[in-house]
């Protein structure tokens, strides 16, 4: 059973969703404000966080920013349907996925399980290494010349997919299935945003020696300069 933190100020909806998630095998703790939600998200108790954007005291984006400054715990955002700005900003701040309100609980469960699959079970594959860039899937660790590189769960999966692709261009459709656990939808920029975040982190950690090339209209390819 996975422990999940739900941060949403709609108490009636939270109760209904908690009951539904419990029926799906999850143990749920629900809080209604951003301050308490931030503290609990950073407690290390939870396998994943479901985070609503509209919250009192501290809004969901600020909660996300504070949590991501200290933790890579998987986070699924709840956003208003059609509110692409919050969606993109949330992904840029490090959210792993999003579900637009109103949503069917089964969709949320499917997204949540996909996130947990990507971050949970240890892998038996050996570590990957390209000219000083290493990735150990079993330990969920990435390093550049022995120095750790901190990535979110989705960024880690994205980098793994790019490293496994080698010189072959990884298409956005393939990366969506591999890194997000779902098919890419028309006008869905999730992969682009996660790739941009990953590119910035790799550039900063490696002084520009690891780059992600954009192959216009196709996808991305990893380049490492020793």
Domains annotated on the chain, with CATH? 2-119 (3.40.50.2300), 128-224 (1.10.10.10)
Matching residue, tokens 């960024």? 155
Using the CB atoms, write b or e for 172-206: b if 16+ within 10 Å.
bebbbebbbbeebeeeeebbebbbebbbebbeebb
What percent of the chain is predicted at pLDDT more than 90? 50
Contact (Cβ atoms closer than 8 angstroms) between residue 220 and residue 212: yes
The 10s digit of each residue's pLDDT in 133-185 is 999 987 889 999 999 999 988 899 899 989 988 888 999 988 887 788 777 87
Q: How far apart are CA 60 and CA 220, in angstroms?
A: 30
Can the peptide bond before residue 209 be classed as cis, meaning omega within 30 degrees of 0?
no
Which tokens belong to 162?
A: 């790019």
Dihedral of the CA atoms 73, 74, 80, 84 (nearest 10)?
Answer: 100
| Helix/strand/coil percent split, the chain, to 5 | 40, 25, 35
The 10s digit of each residue's pLDDT in 24-62 is 888 899 999 999 999 999 988 899 999 999 898 889 999
Residues 6+ positions from 159 with CB-CB distance below 8 Å: 135, 142, 151, 198, 202, 222
User: 155 in helix, strand or coil?
Assistant: helix
């Amino acid at each position: 059973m996975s422990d999940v933190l739900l941060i949403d100020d709609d108490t009636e909806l939270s109760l209904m969703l908690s009951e539904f998630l419990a029926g799906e095998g999850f143990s749920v703790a629900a809080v209604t404000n951003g301050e308490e939600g931030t503290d609990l998200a950073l407690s290390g108790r939870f396998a994943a966080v479901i985070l609503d954007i509209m919250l009192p005291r501290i809004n969901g984006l600020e909660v996300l920013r504070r949590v991501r400054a200290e933790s890579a715990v998987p986070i699924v955002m709840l956003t208003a349907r059609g509110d692409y700005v919050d969606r993109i900003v949330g992904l840029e701040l490090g959210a792993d996925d999003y579900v637009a309100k109103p949503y069917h609980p089964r969709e949320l469960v499917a997204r949540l399980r996909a996130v947990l699959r990507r971050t949970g079970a240890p892998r038996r594959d050996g570590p990957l290494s390209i000219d000083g860039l290493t990735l150990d899937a079993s330990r969920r660790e990435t390093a550049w010349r022995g120095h750790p590189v901190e990535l979110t769960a989705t960024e880690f999966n994205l980098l793994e997919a790019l490293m496994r692709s080698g010189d072959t261009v990884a298409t956005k459709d393939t990366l969506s299935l591999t890194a997000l656990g779902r098919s890419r939808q028309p006008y869905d920029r999730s992969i682009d945003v996660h790739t941009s975040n990953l590119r910035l982190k790799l550039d900063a950690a490696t002084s520009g020696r690891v780059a992600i090339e954009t192959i216009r209209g196709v996808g991305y390819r990893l380049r490492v300069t020793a």
